[in-house]
Chains A and B, each alone.
Chain A
């Protein structure tokens, strides 16, 4: 279930995140894409990314060039679920100026999202080893955030 009505998380830029974090798993129900970007931008060693839930909508003008401050390695596994299989999330990731190098992409969505997914997969064409693309009727997952260090 989402956290509708709950206040958004405070600005992630205030967080002190270890630079050695390599994996980020987050349910986006209580954050905006800008806040999500801010978290990711603080993690230069980020290899594995798992996003689920539905990000809080924001003014679309704030999404222009949203991914240009990303600096993760993005060389591991990407997992997208629920409404994170969306053009705006894909644009965020594709905005990374150093490019995506995921070796595994695992997409599970509730309706066909081929266009953004195909763009995302194409961006990893030289590194991708495994692709999973599943269309299911599964519900949303619960709020959670996990960080992992190597």
Chain B
């Protein structure tokens, strides 16, 4: 859960509030060339509830950082560590609440693997970008459209990259 000082009265003016989306099935978030805060992502995730969005089945998160920013794991963690940790916490909470499997994939490179290792986040890693994929109901074993929808990489391809 996000701490009270984060979920303030005005917090959701800076993010999505999914607390009344009964038909929501898929959420894709992407930030290419990461800079600035990623707090809006866990804020939005924190509003995804089984009671209010029971049909939710897919969350795809894709992050790629700038080649000129965050040259070290330390600087990346310094700027984004809290946000990434909150993303992971919310993903864990969602997995538990929806009683499904969570499949998170992190593409190796540019410090994200090391940063998330440091945070103790259980992701799979691939080569040049960061992709976190959450399947709330099941982990597909084939090249299903669900897996390709968010990142253009099939389940088999993703596994082979990791």
Q: Check B30 against A136 for contact (C-beta < 8 Å).
A: yes
Instruction: Say whether, besides A125-B21, A129-B25, A130-B26, A137 and B32 are in contact (CB < 8 Å).
Output: yes
Within 8 A of A (CB), among B29-69: 29-33, 36, 40, 62
Q: Check B16 against A121 for contact (C-beta < 8 Å).
A: yes
Q: Check B24 against A126 for contact (C-beta < 8 Å).
A: no
Q: Check B27 against A129 for contact (C-beta < 8 Å).
A: no
Q: Check A135 against B22 for contact (C-beta < 8 Å).
A: no
Interface residue from A115, A118, A127, A133 paired with B23 (Cβ < 8 Å)? A127
Q: Check A114 against B15 for contact (C-beta < 8 Å).
A: yes
Tally of contact residues, B, Cβ under 8 A: 23
Q: Check A112 against B28 for contact (C-beta < 8 Å).
A: no
- How far apart are A117's CB and chain B's nearest CB, in angstroms? 8
Residues of B within 8 A of A122 (CB): 16-17
Q: Check A118 against B16 for contact (C-beta < 8 Å).
A: yes
Q: Tell whether B20 is near chain A: CB-to-CB under 8 Å.
A: yes
Q: Check B14 against A114 for contact (C-beta < 8 Å).
A: yes
Binary contact readout A62-91 vs B (1 if CB under 8 angstroms, 0 otherwise): 000000000000000000000000000000
Q: Using a Cβ cutoff of 8 Å, how many contacts connect chains A and B?
A: 62
Residues of B within 8 A of A146 (CB): none
Within 8 A of B (CB), among A93-114: 103, 112, 114
Once bound together, how far apart are the Cα atoms of A84 and B141, in whole Å? 39
Closest to B55 in A: A129
Once bound together, how far apart are the Cα atoms of A112 and B30, in whole Å? 11
Q: Check B23 against A126 for contact (C-beta < 8 Å).
A: yes
Interface residue from A117, A128, A132 paired with B21 (Cβ < 8 Å)? A128
Within 8 A of A (CB), among B85-126: none
Q: Check B33 against A136 for contact (C-beta < 8 Å).
A: yes
Q: Tell whether A145 is near chain B: CB-to-CB under 8 Å.
A: no
Once bound together, how far apart are the Cα atoms of A34 and B33, in whole Å? 34
Interface residues of A (CB under 8 A from B): 103, 112, 114-115, 117-118, 121-122, 125-137
- Of all A-B residue pairs in the complex, the 4 with the closest CB atoms, nearest first, are A134-B30, A132-B28, A130-B26, A136-B32
Interface residues of B (CB under 8 A from A): 12-17, 20-33, 36, 40, 62
